[in-house]
Amino acid sequence: MKENIIQAKNLCFSYKNEDGAPLPVIKNLTFDIERGSFVSILGHNGSGKSTLAKLLNLVLTPDSGELTVGGIDVMREDLSEEDIYNLRRRIGMVFQNPDNQLVATIVEEDIAFGPENLGIEPEEIRRRVDDALAAVNMSEFARHSPHQLSGGQKQRVAIAGIIAMLPDCIIFDESTAMLDPIGRAEVMDTIEGLNRERGITVLHITHYMDEAVRADRVMVVDHGEILLDGTPEAVFSHVEQLKAAGLDVPQVTALTHRLKTEAGFDLPETLLHSADAVEALKALYDQIGG
Amino acid sequence: MENTPKISLENVTYRYSIGTPFEKAALRDVTLGFEGGIITGLMGHTGSGKSTIAQLLNGLLKPTEGCVKIDGKDIWEDPKKIGAVRFRVGLVFQYPEYQLFEESVERDIAYGPRNMGLDEEEIRRRVIDAARFTGISPEIFAKSPFELSGGQKRRVAIAGVMAMDPEILVLDEPAAGLDPKGRAEILGGIRAYQREKKNTIIIISHSMEDMAMYADKLMVLDHGRVSRYGDAHEVFAHAEELKSVGLSRPQITKFIMELQKAGVPVEGGIYSVEDAYNEVLRVFAEKKKGGAVNAP
């Protein structure tokens, strides 16, 4: 049965500027996130997507609206500190810069930090740490010091630290931004695996269109509002609207869109993947003169 | 390279944590040079030594062995003068927005030039100049850097180094974490700045798409060694090698190769959507023309 892990209704949030005047960042957002889904969130810098992530993780409190996370109404007056900690454990968050996320001097101790604070049994911690290290392909670095690792390796350790807390949902706030292409691919495979194999709900905030394409659903946030929301095919068909919002579409999608709209090629509305575009263009090419 | 490079590493070895159990060579016997007056894109996988090289180039790190030369002269010849090298080689770190500290945008950009002992008029001129290239409106000069968005802070940080007018500017992932429009603006601004100043720029990047578009030459590092050097065309021709060093070609380059394999006779070596568009139109037009001639 379909169940929503996150339900937001008319969510509003403002920062205050120096004079105390409100700067609205999240404006009347209404959306649901289905448990077990893989959702990409796109938006230009300053669009409000990171603020949204912090609201969902209760780092920030909404000014108004309704927000239910994991069945708990977070706007409730009598929300206890324990409720908040419990929710934060269930909604893990991985940030952009891994240097701000590692706390221990040894990789495996860093990963154990979360479970230790939850009062988990030592054997279980050991099992979780090994499992988390394997999940991010960092087992051989278990005894290393984080400062000896490159940015990409540190990021994988940060992800492992969240995995070890066995969250229901992980929010990745541009967690791939600092990685090289192969590192990115590894982290994306990890994220996809966590979602498909462990059923962890994934919210993936990114600027990389090729990553967004891998999700079940893409939400585009612009000026604190939802601009587009749907399957990757549906969202990336709005090439001009995405460009106007400071975003882009995958290169193959851009090419086929241009061939269709400017050169009149008889192509499908949206082609996201190379293989599909090759097939479509090849078919058109073979028709010429035949 | 036939010409003397503007800045070079000669047989450089750099070890971290010397004398501890964690001693590790980040670079081993590396020799490479950067041509003057162009933008070089320095690419390599995470941990390939790119960031260590950046810090060696402006004298923040001292080679354990070997030397770093500018115009053929060892920068560590007189270690007491290494401070002067840092004015000649500007370095913009990854995520420089975390390094802003002044009370206003203008003062932050002016910090470097002021330390160089320039007069106020010259400082002012440089601040305006650097702001122009990085797309900072003078309207926000009086604002606190902490009121700005992440993307704007990044621009201020880059402007601060540009305002020192270094002969050589090294930028470590200047566009990391920015949205596509922000990337294009920052990298486009750096290119415009280089074209006007004719100085030497080294951009460290993972993005083959970006470097194909904004760099004049690409240098691919693998474990601290130069595995490829040339323009985008030459470098992207070596697909398998790039893959083995943790980089990948732009999606559009791969797509064109797949299209070619499927039997559509497009030429390889395409690395922008624009070029791909023109190439597809060309082969389709060719077949249409040929088809008409061959028709019975």
Greater model confidence, B295 or A16: A16
Hey, which residues 129-158 in chain B have their CB within 8 Å of chain A? 144, 147, 149-151
pLDDT band at B236 (very low <50, low <70, confident <90, very high): confident
- Inform me whether the C-beta atom of residue B99 falls under 8 Å from chain A C-beta atoms: no
Residue A189 has pLDDT above 70, yes or no: yes
Using the Cβ of B244 and the Cβ atoms of chain A, whether some distance falls under 8 Å is answered with no
Q: What pLDDT, on a 0 to 100 scale, did the predictor assign at position B114?
A: 93
The beta-carbon neighbor of B149 closest among A45, A248, A251 is: A45
Proportion of chain A above pLDDT 70, given as a percent: 99
Angle at A240 between CA A235 and CA A244, to 5 degrees: 100
In a domain, A240, yes or no: no
DSSP state of B276: H
Task: Judge whether residue A111 has pLDDT over 80.
Answer: yes
**Domain-embedded: residue A40:** yes
C-alpha to C-alpha distance for B296 and B288, rounded to whole angstroms: 14
CATH of B7-237, one of 3.40.50.300, 3.30.300.90, 3.40.30.10, 3.40.630.10: 3.40.50.300
Helix (H, G, I), strand (E, B) or coil at B140: helix
Per residue in B209-229, pLDDT tens? Answer: 889 889 999 999 887 788 899
Q: Which pTM does this prediction carry?
A: 0.80
Q: Which of A180, A253, A208 is nearest to B178 (CA)?
A: A208
Mean pLDDT, all residues of chain B: 89
Tokens of B294: 């061959």
E strand intervals along chain B: 7-16, 24-34, 39-44, 65-70, 73-74, 89-92, 168-172, 200-204, 217-222, 225-230
Whether residue A246 and residue B177 make contact (CB cut-off 8 A), yes or no, is: no
B280 touches chain A (CB under 8 A): yes
Structure tokens at A19: 């004079």
* CATH for A165: 3.40.50.300
Does residue A185 sit in the same domain as residue A274? no
Block residue for tokens 């990854």: B94
List of chain B residues whose C-beta atoms are within 8 Å of the C-beta of residue A43:
179
Determine the pLDDT at residue B296.
38
Two structure tokens written together for B89: 């080689």
pLDDT digits (tens, 9 = 90+) for B1-35: 456 899 999 999 999 878 877 777 888 899 999 99
* pLDDT tens digits, one per residue of A85-106: 888 888 999 988 777 778 888 9
A160 and A274 co-located in one domain = no
Domain that residue A254 falls in: 250-290
Q: Which residues of B touch A248 (CB under 8 A)?
A: 180
pLDDT in tens, A128-180: 999 999 888 889 999 998 877 876 788 889 989 999 998 999 999 988 887 77
Residue B124, Cβ density class (10 Å: 0-12 exposed, 13-18 middle, ≥19 buried) = middle
Instruction: Please check whether residues A34 and A81 belong to one and the same domain.
Output: yes
pLDDT number for residue A205: 94
C-alpha distances in Å from residue A159, one per residue of A33, A101, A154, A155, A211: 21, 10, 9, 6, 17
Residues A288 and A260 in one domain: yes
Give the β-pairing of A72-73 and A64-69. antiparallel
Residue in the block written with tokens 């004398």: B19
Residue A138: exposure state from Cβ atoms within 10 A (0-12, 13-18, ≥19): buried
Q: Do A148 and B150 touch (CB under 8 A)?
A: no
**B26 touching A (Cβ < 8 Å):** no
* A93 inside 8 A of chain B by CB: no
Arithmetic mean of pLDDT, A4-9 = 95
Share of chain B above pLDDT 90, in %: 58
pLDDT digits (tens, 9 = 90+) for B94-125: 878 877 888 899 999 999 999 999 999 999 99
Residue B231 touches chain A, beta carbons under 8 Å? no
| Same domain for A182 and A97 | yes
Q: What confidence score (pLDDT) does residue B293 get?
A: 44
Is residue B22 within 8 A of residue B60, CB to CB? The reply is no
Going by the DSSP 8-state scheme, the letter that residue A216 receives in this structure is: S
As a whole number, mean pLDDT of residues B120-142 equals 94
User: Within this chain, do residues A280 and A196 fall inside the same structural domain, yes or no?
Assistant: no
- Number of domains, chain A: 2
Chain position carrying tokens 């934060």: A88
Domain annotation covers residue A238: no
Intervals of CATH 3.40.50.300 along chain B: 7-237
Confidence label for A70 from pLDDT (cuts 50, 70 and 90) = confident
- Cβ of B95 and A97 within 8 Å? yes
Residue A217, min C-alpha distance to chain B (Å): 19
Residues A112 and A227 in one domain: yes
At residue A136's C-alpha, the angle toward residues A134 and A137, to 5°, is 60
